[in-house]
Chain A
Amino acid sequence: MRTTLAVLAARLTRALLVAGGRGATALPGVVGLAIDPALVTRLSRSLRRGVACVTGTNGKTTTTRMLSDIVRAAGWTPVHNRSGSNLERGLAAALVSARGDVGLFELDEASVPRVLARVAPRVLVVTNLFRDQLDRYFEIDALQKRIGSAIAALPSGTTLVLNADDPLVAHLGDSHSGKMFFFGVDDPRVGGTTAQAISDATRCPRCRSPLRYTRVVLAHIGDWRCPSCGFARPARDIAASEVALGPDGSTLRVSAITEPVLVPLPGLYNAYNALAALAGARALDIPLADAAAALASFKPAFGRLERVPAEGRTLRLVLVKNPAGFNAAIGALTETGRHPRLLAALSDLDADGRDVSWIWDADFETLAQATTHAVVTGLRARDLALRFKYAGLELTRLEVVESWRGALERAIALTPVGEELAVIATYTAMLALRRALAQAGHVAPFWED
């Protein structure tokens, strides 16, 4: 009775918001949870095909959306917290707003223990664990332990889908007694041999001895093993044996799939997201070939390398929030030998991370070398300009423009017609730039909270 009432109240809230011309995101969930605190548990249990949760520092939005396309192609109807309201209220809002047979929930790392206590998912996908917005989550080791304890409390019926190449993620498997699928990149040409400066986990998560890497893909992701206790990269169930990167996407050879897998988003990190989604599909018993076919027509989410046409140029929007995500994104912009023109925006509101020190861990040195020109803006534009200066970008190739609209216009003017402008921004800065783009008539407004 209480659940029914909560659902009705939440749906009414949603209807009022939509009628008022507002996007409906988390508010209906807030209303529903106020009436029935057990709303998420009750509604998620009623989903016939169960719930798949996706978490990790980077890539969870893209992976969840890929998985959503995959289950739709299989004829299922997902309930998806698509707009990025990824806390419990976002889940409640998604559950009351749509009817479906499978839940696809994107969870931020900090909310994983709380949500797992309410929802025992059929599948839990963990993409990676990097240093992220430390003023909110503090320390990655502590976070990894909290997620590990939450996993230990899950029933053995849950299937874990884990990144074999990330030792912190692979270590989560120690806490689980049920089924597990591991994914990873096996192509020996991918990655170098030296650990990167931003590495969070050069020590073994089991015994704290230094890990050995025969291949480092990104930060602490790679082919690793611990010479002291023998903990090593687990065998991969879903592995890319060949990765061919291109400016608009990549092609993967994946074990157990005959045809090459097309990932229509550039960047090695999106290849990882695709592997996570494929492994998730396998854990949901969806045939891999069907899953791969669904991926080929994938469209990116807000700020995940989405393309926006503007005045004869193509804007490529890249949302960044931490060093690993930043390095992965600049990899996608430069790894095919390109020299991007940039509009870079740094802000320090809560959703961006209030501490902007992370930019000093990100590999601006590589970006500065490749950059043709950079226009810098945002609430912390001056910090960003300083970072570019110390990364070696000549001041003649660097401009600070304080206003969003002004920065956008200047960066577009500096980009020749027919060429691409890379827009790299933190969360609220990207929202502000998007609003400026919408005012100029280039994109539709986008609602996020």
Chain B
Amino acid sequence: MDLRIAHLYPDLMSIYGDRGNVIALEQRARWRGIAVETRAYTAGDAFDADWPDLWFFGGGQDQGQDVVGADLQGPNGGAVRRSIAGGAAALTICGGYQLFGHEYVPESAPAIPGLGVIDVTTRAGKTRFVGNLVADAEGGTLVGFENHSGYTYLGAKAKPLARVRIGHGNNGEDGTEGAIQGHLIGCYVHGSLLPKNSWLADLLTTWALERRHGHLALTPLDDAVETRARDAAIEVAKARP
């Protein structure tokens, strides 16, 4: 069995330790005896829509986001849409999450269109949300660090990934964090999201494998180190939100 991960624009959209999410998916697959291959898909490449089981799309700096936004308006955006329609899963963080939505509306510039595969819209906010975040999701507790000035609002087709306990989440108003729509996830927790929230890593892996291998129950792993890190991070978030 094998797992194929497409890392979207790793040269332009990978800040705040986003690489940790790919490392978590890769290692957890290897520990289960699943072969894994990660390929970089970046601006100027011709995307192969049939290859990926899972797209990973991290956060970026404003300048990188311009190049990426433009590239996604071309044939590469079409390839990602086809791939998702064909059953590929996706994890998108911060800027990646915004670009998977309908559009990003800056304060005083024309809206930047997104792929529109997750039913969310983002506009520039006045206050930047920076700090530890704890939220309750259906599959478990979500803990990590958020750092964003985009405020994201969910449409009818997207469900909140989690309810914020500590922190700001999507927009600081409605208590939601992230979005889940089919096998796509958007989230503002960057960096070590998947290593500490191993339940989410496994959910994404199950979805990704489903495309070519059908629904499988994953072999359980010893997650003692992960659980301790998650519990400790929750305590930190309570003490230093």
Contact = CB atoms under 8 A, between A and B. Distances in A.
Q: Do A and B come from one complex?
A: yes
Interface of A: 131, 134-135, 138-142, 195, 197, 199, 202-203, 208, 210, 348, 354-361, 379-383, 385-387, 389-390, 395
Interface size class of B (residues with CB under 8 A): 35 or more
B147 A355 contact: yes
Interface string B187-209: 00011100110000000000000
A374 to B, nearest CB: 13
Contacts of B63: 141, 203, 208
Contacts of B192: 356-357, 359-360, 383, 386-387
A395 B145 contact: no
B225 A383 contact: no
Given A357-B191, A357-B192, A390-B27, A382 B228 contact: yes
A136 to B, nearest CB: 9
Given A134-B16, A382-B229, A382-B233, 10 more contacts: A134-B147, A141-B64, A203-B11, A203-B67, A354-B131, A354-B145, A357-B145, A357-B190, A359-B17, A387-B195
B233 A383 contact: yes
A351 to B, nearest CB: 13
Contacts of B229: 382-383, 385-386
B232 A382 contact: yes
Contact of B225 (A139, A203, A386): A386
Given A141-B62, A383-B232, A360 B225 contact: no
Interface string B93-114: 0000000000000000000000
28 contacts: A131-B15, A134-B147, A135-B130, A135-B145, A138-B128, A140-B61, A141-B63, A195-B11, A197-B14, A199-B11, A202-B11, A203-B63, A210-B11, A348-B240, A354-B130, A354-B132, A355-B130, A356-B191, A357-B17, A357-B20, A358-B17, A382-B229, A383-B232, A386-B195, A386-B225, A387-B195, A390-B24, A395-B225
B211 interface: no
Interface string B124-136: 0000101110000
Contacts of B20: 357, 359-361, 387, 390
B210 interface: no
B41 to A, nearest CB: 14
Contacts of B67: 203, 208
A380 B144 CA distance: 12
Q: Is the interface of A mostly helix, strand, loop or mixed?
A: helix
A383 B196 contact: yes
Contacts of A134: 15-16, 147
Given A135-B147, A355-B191, A360-B20, A386 B61 contact: no
Interface in B224-241: 225-226, 228-229, 231-233, 236, 240
Q: Which 4 A-B pairs have the closest CB atoms?
A: A357-B191, A360-B20, A357-B17, A360-B17
A123 B133 CA distance: 43
> A134, A140, A379: which has the most chain B beta carbons within 10 Å?
A134
B185 interface: no
Contacts of B15: 131, 134, 139
A356 B190 CA distance: 10
B89 interface: no
B23 interface: yes
A361 B14 CA distance: 9
Contacts of B12: 202-203
Interface string B171-197: 000000000000000000011100110
B81 interface: no
Given A140-B61, A203-B11, A386-B226, A360 B191 contact: yes
Contact of A197 (B19, B27, B130, B196): B19
Contacts of A195: 11
Contacts of A357: 16-17, 20, 144-145, 190-192
Contacts of A358: 16-17, 191
Nearest to B226: A386
Contacts of B18: 360
Contacts of A131: 15
Interface in B28-45: 44
A380 B236 contact: yes
A314 B32 CA distance: 41
Contacts of A141: 61-64
B29 to A, nearest CB: 12
A390 B11 contact: no
A202 B236 CA distance: 35
Nearest to A388: B225
Contact of A380 (B10, B61, B226, B232): B232
A134 B147 CA distance: 9
Which of A142, A355, A361: most chain B CB closer than 10 A? A355
- Count chain B CB atoms within 10 A of each CB in A195, A199, A348, A382 and give the residue with the most: A382
